[in-house]
Structure 1
């Protein structure tokens, strides 16, 4: 009887939400012809099989799923068959019962034989780590496929050891104040996606052991974790296809021959080792380094030189410009995206574009103004890509400065196979200035008669 009272309290807490949700959904469904009354008065949705309705409900949060039980007798127990648990971080609607009791009773009332997905993201301080341990252990015992666990606690929450030997889990995302203490064996034979954010590892080799226990891992996202007594991140995963790292002052070692996508965000290049990536398709680079790390930067770019798409952040291009860094040849590169603070002819033409002989798309965003004029008309040989392969040139954040016009003029004058020039102007340019800029751009000589110029107004407030 006590369990039923708690669940009933749960239902009543969402009656207003349910009525609003049902009214809005029913109106939309009627307009689309999805709900039509049959002669017996039962709508089409209620006539769907249980497994179909449960699949639809699996896309809702658990509180919304349970709330549907008051729709009709047909829906009273359907929520107990839904194979997902999604606990949101807003539980202020519970006035007479605690979140711990609600979760406990939801678990007790469930009839589904599996938990395919468990989501919990919360700032709640009214329950302790025992609840987390119980939830995760229950999910693992019921063939868990996906776990998303993000907690803001005044203390660290631990995880059950059974999670790290779960044979069914394919997606694991952990974040914030979670303590990962890997004292027993680790084997996750089905895990393909692993995201780790701001975690606390109990010992130095925990991450290495965790990754070595994931034989089919394809995607790893790692962000600023607190690994005790270590400053290194070692990623040796032959099956890895996608890697995203955001880490300050870590020694990064990567050996992933199957890697297709690499993103480094706000990462210092110190003692750096990156293997050769023959399968690499995209590299998004946001790095910084000091003079002592210049040699390691060279090793890094040699490691990614086979990428087909390369994107460099503003800070990265700035430090590379002033360091006079010389790039290796990017023979496979077809798409280059640069975020610039200055237009430096030596960096853009001599150091970079001459190393991209097969470049097809050049995408530049000049996002800052600099009083120091850097662009001068190059006196070196024109890069091969302008003669033979560059077909699309995009210039974003155009402010109609003289150096911008000169740089664009250089590309137009030498781009023999160029077909499209897209100019994206900043929103604050006055109409008269825009009109004058368009006239100047149209007057620029073009090596390609097929080149068309498209103009857009970029509104930063919408980006």
Structure 2
């Protein structure tokens, strides 16, 4: 008996399901030809991953998905469903998949909807579940996916919305769209636009991230919110968060921020983008920034963008008469956000009045000032490590997929009755070969990115990163060889069977 087949047949269901979770459902079904042990395993896989890209005809996509759902073991619950859809996929079809997922107690759903036309309305009535804990909804198009009503997700703890517009048809104040998500703890709104005033009132919300958002008035009432991140948002933000302990603000706009007590706030990172065409010499702009800083009176760890200090330095008269609000400060860091290579930008002139404002109430606080050159090196090191982690995961997934593709049946060859199924895969053969080439290009690209970042990394971190990179490069070469060999082997194997 073929030793390779033995290993496949002896794998536990948990291991097989783990392998199948890395690939889309279409290719998971194709693994049924690997051995008799795998023939029906996909039917009990708790992961479903459907993408329009994996089907030659978008018009047949709904029928193909319907056949998959009808063939699946209905006694097995779902842990995760991923969908990548295009304009052609009707919302009625999406609702059908959602109903199936909810009826099988799905815990995690991720939907990416690609569209090229006008705004589309994504009815949240599709989402009624007592099991769903994690939901990601991402729109990909020139305009927004619109949402006009709330949904009922009693178990939901994490919600991530991207490129979504909250549209109020009556143009009056929004109610809380998340009112029927009583267990929501983590909320991320990225590139979301809100038509009208908006309120979030949640007793269990602990992490809130707002990025690239636009609204009129955004009111957050969250008594147990711990972490708040705001990046590049426009509009007035009003918060009532008495337990907020960490705040990060990064914006290029004049930031309107009102808080009802920040008595628990200990850590703040505050950055303002400063462009040459913007004038920060006006009293109104600088006053708004000072008003925000005054709210951080309990902070212990304060990080300010170098640009914020420059704004204060250009408006000394506004702080010269103010006592320092930072009576509990133990650490002050000044870090630039603009990392352009410009000698003039490297110079920091901090007037005595600004020093007194920042440190007068905490003269023993440690002060660390990073130059733009130093900060760029630190960020390059962090980015390089992030890419290396992504590459490590990519290589692990590729090895899992290749193990599936190159395995054999118990008899050491594909049996005759499976020939029809193999013929159906013929149309995918060259697509798989092309996909393999794209994967190799991606691996090379990631290695090149890391090498480029290492040109400007602190010496203290470069040696460690170089050692890890050498190991990754060797593993990458091994995986590239496996990809090349496995794709080349597909052609003769398929030709013999046809």
The two structures have a TM-score, normalised by structure 2, of 0.60
| Aligned-partner SS, 1:355 | coil
Q: 1:248 to 1:289 in 2, by over 3 A?
A: same
Shift of residue 375, structure 1, vs aligned partner? 1.8
Q: Does 1:338 align with 2:302?
A: no
Partners of 1:110 and 1:287 lie apart in 2 by 50
> What is the match of residue 451 of structure 2?
none
> What is the match of residue 145 of structure 1?
107
| Aligned-partner SS, 1:388 | coil
Partners of 1:95 and 1:188 lie apart in 2 by 34
Q: Does 1:163 align with 2:139?
A: no
Partners of 2:297 and 2:333 lie apart in 1 by 14
Partners of 1:61 and 1:145 lie apart in 2 by 18
Partners of 1:201 and 1:179 lie apart in 2 by 6
Partners of 2:221 and 2:333 lie apart in 1 by 29
Q: 1:160 to 1:238 in 2, by over 3 A?
A: closer
> What is the match of residue 43 of structure 2?
80
Shift of residue 274, structure 1, vs aligned partner? 1.6
Deviations 1:31-85, CA, capped at 9 Å, x for gaps? xxxxxxx986644343122244223322332233223222222111111111111
Shift of residue 387, structure 1, vs aligned partner? 4.2
Q: Does 1:393 align with 2:359?
A: no
Contact 2:168–2:196 (CA under 8 A) maintained in structure 1: no
Partners of 1:423 and 1:225 lie apart in 2 by 29
Structure 2 stretches lacking a partner, 5+ long: 381-456, 463-498
Match of 2:219 among 242, 245, 253: 253
Contact 1:137–1:160 (CA under 8 A) maintained in structure 2: no
Contact 2:197–2:217 (CA under 8 A) maintained in structure 1: yes
> What is the match of residue 286 of structure 1?
251
> What is the match of residue 221 of structure 1?
188
| Aligned-partner SS, 1:215 | coil
| Aligned-partner SS, 2:233 | strand
Contact 2:95–2:126 (CA under 8 A) maintained in structure 1: no
Match of 1:241 among 183, 188, 206: 206
Deviations 1:337-378, CA, capped at 9 Å, x for gaps? 425287356479977976264232514125255969872542
Partners of 2:377 and 2:323 lie apart in 1 by 23
> What is the match of residue 100 of structure 1?
62
Shift of residue 258, structure 1, vs aligned partner? 0.7
Matches within 5 A, 1:156-195: 156=120, 158-159=122-123, 161=125, 163-164=127-128, 166-176=129-139, 178-180=145-147, 182=149, 186-195=151-160
Deviations 1:204-263, CA, capped at 9 Å, x for gaps? 589634311111110112245455xx4212111111111122422421111111111111
Shift of residue 114, structure 1, vs aligned partner? 1.8
Shift of residue 162, structure 1, vs aligned partner? 5.5
Partners of 2:249 and 2:77 lie apart in 1 by 39
Partners of 1:261 and 1:160 lie apart in 2 by 27
Match of 1:307 among 265, 269, 272: 265
Matches within 5 A, 1:12-161: 42-91=5-54, 94=56, 98-112=60-74, 113-122=76-85, 124-153=86-115, 154=117, 156=120, 158-159=122-123, 161=125
| Aligned-partner SS, 2:175 | helix
Partners of 1:40 and 1:374 lie apart in 2 by 68
Higher helix share: 2
Q: 1:90 to 1:345 in 2, by over 3 A?
A: same
Partners of 2:263 and 2:459 lie apart in 1 by 33
Match of 1:277 among 234, 242, 246: 242
Contact 1:220–1:244 (CA under 8 A) maintained in structure 2: yes
Q: 1:356 to 1:286 in 2, by over 3 A?
A: farther
Partners of 2:176 and 2:197 lie apart in 1 by 14
Shift of residue 193, structure 1, vs aligned partner? 1.0
Partners of 2:108 and 2:327 lie apart in 1 by 42
Shift of residue 104, structure 1, vs aligned partner? 1.6
| Aligned-partner SS, 1:250 | strand
Q: 1:307 to 1:160 in 2, by over 3 A?
A: closer
Q: Does 1:211 align with 2:174?
A: no
Superposition RMSD in Å: 4.1
Partners of 2:274 and 2:228 lie apart in 1 by 15
> What is the match of residue 358 of structure 1?
329
Q: 1:47 to 1:151 in 2, by over 3 A?
A: same
| Aligned-partner SS, 2:352 | coil
Structure 1 stretches lacking a partner, 5+ long: 1-37, 291-295, 400-421, 428-453
> What is the match of residue 442 of structure 1?
none
Q: 1:216 to 1:72 in 2, by over 3 A?
A: same
Q: 1:187 to 1:94 in 2, by over 3 A?
A: closer
Contact 2:173–2:196 (CA under 8 A) maintained in structure 1: no
Partners of 1:352 and 1:190 lie apart in 2 by 48
Contact 1:357–1:383 (CA under 8 A) maintained in structure 2: no
